Amino acid sequence: MLVVLAREHDEEAARLVVQWASLGAVQLTPRDLSRPGWNQEHGRRRYQTAVIAGNRVGNDSIGAVLVRLAAVTAFDLPHVSPLDRSYVAAEMTAFLVFWLGSLGTRVVNRPIEGCLGGPPWPQAQWISEAARIGLPVVPFTRSTLQRRGVPDESMPTAPMNGDTVTVVGDKCVNSRSAVHAEHAKALAQSCGVDLLSVTFGTDNCEKGNSFLIAASPWPSLSDMRVSNELRRFLQEVMRANV
């Protein structure tokens, strides 16, 4: 079984579940966490069960999980009393961290720092991590003076032509440059994610120097090349966890 963890009205997730029906794809929504049948016992491997698309399944029947939800929010829980929604959302998110953690390498992307599907980093942190592993970056600059409508002339900006590539496992999709592909994969590996979009820019000088300017563990999957590569990768994950 391939599980896609996503909000109830996530159209992209619903489309993938239809496209991947032959892989046994089903969607797990926050609503499922309010159904009887979840059992996760710390340390005991047998009799761990989940409720996916309304059906009770053993954890062992799950071959892979694609996470498309950073956290459960109060808006996901219209069936819960309004006064309790924030609390229940926090409990469900904390439980999913535990459950997904127990599934190990079957999960793409794995929870990190309390976020269900990869590092919850702001852009500055992606830039910092890229610089740390030796990738050329455009410095991320921000001044709260700008938020007050006061222009800050000291903050440099650099016009860039962008190239966005998507890392899926050990492959890179839509890369126009072997260097960009190599750098994107290096960043994904350093952060422990299997799915990552990375945007590079080239400056306007004669040499056309290339810099990393942004990254995200939530790439759009509307591009067929990306979703096809992801399907292939998830099939490998499922085979490895038989």
Partner 1 sequence: MPHDSPLTAVDEALSELGLPLLRINQLAYSDMNIKLSVGSELRGELSLHDFPIKLQEISAIYLRPHPLIHRASIDSGVQSLRHEDAVEEALYTWVALTSSAVVNRPRAMAANGSKPYQLSLIESLGFKVPNTLVTTDPDEAAKFCRDQGAAIYKSVSGIRSKVARIRTDKCERWSTIASCPTQFQQYIDGLDCRAHVVGTEVFACSIRSTADDYRYTEDPVAVEPIVLPVKIRERCVQITAAMQLHFTGIDLRVTDGGEWYCFEVNPAPAFSYYEKHTGQRIAAAVAHFLARFEM
Per CB under 8 A, the list member of 46, 104, 113, 206 interacting with partner 1 is 113
- Contact indicator for 58, 48 with CB cutoff of 8 Å: yes
Q: Using N-to-C axis directions, what is the helix angle for 224-240 and 11-19, rounded to 10°?
A: 60
Nearer to partner 1, 115 or 173 (CB): 115
Nearest approach in angstroms of CB 3 to partner 1 is 16
Per CB under 8 A, the list member of 60, 61, 75, 124 interacting with partner 1 is 124
Per CB under 8 A, the list member of 60, 91, 170, 236 interacting with partner 1 is 91
- Contact indicator for 51, 37 with CB cutoff of 8 Å: yes
The two structure tokens encoding residue 202: 């080239």
Closest CA to 212 of 127, 144, 149, 152: 127
Residue found under tokens 């709260």: 144
Pairing of strands 2-5, 210-216: unpaired
DSSP 111: P
Nearest approach in angstroms of CB 120 to partner 1 is 9
Regarding 3 and contact with partner 1 (CB under 8 A), the answer is no
- Contact indicator for 71, 115 with CB cutoff of 8 Å: yes
Closest CA to 211 of 145, 130, 144: 130
Regarding 78 and contact with partner 1 (CB under 8 A), the answer is no
Residues that contact partner 1, how many (by CB under 8 A): 49
Regarding 42 and contact with partner 1 (CB under 8 A), the answer is yes
- Contact indicator for 174, 225 with CB cutoff of 8 Å: yes
Per CB under 8 A, the list member of 14, 24, 38, 171 interacting with partner 1 is 38
Regarding 90 and contact with partner 1 (CB under 8 A), the answer is yes
Regarding 128 and contact with partner 1 (CB under 8 A), the answer is yes
Segment near partner 1 (CB under 8 A); pick from 11-19, 27-35, 60-68, 166-174: 27-35
Q: At 191, which amino acid appears?
A: C
The DSSP H or E segment spanning 179 is helix 178-191
Please report, as residue ranges, which positions from 134 to 173 form the binding site for partner 1 (by CB under 8 A).
137-145, 147-149, 152, 154-155
Please report, as residue ranges, which positions from 189 to 208 form the binding site for partner 1 (by CB under 8 A).
none
**Which positions lie near partner 1, rule CB under 8 A?**
33-43, 51, 80, 87-88, 90-95, 97-98, 101-102, 113-114, 121-122, 124-125, 127-128, 131, 137-145, 147-149, 152, 154-155
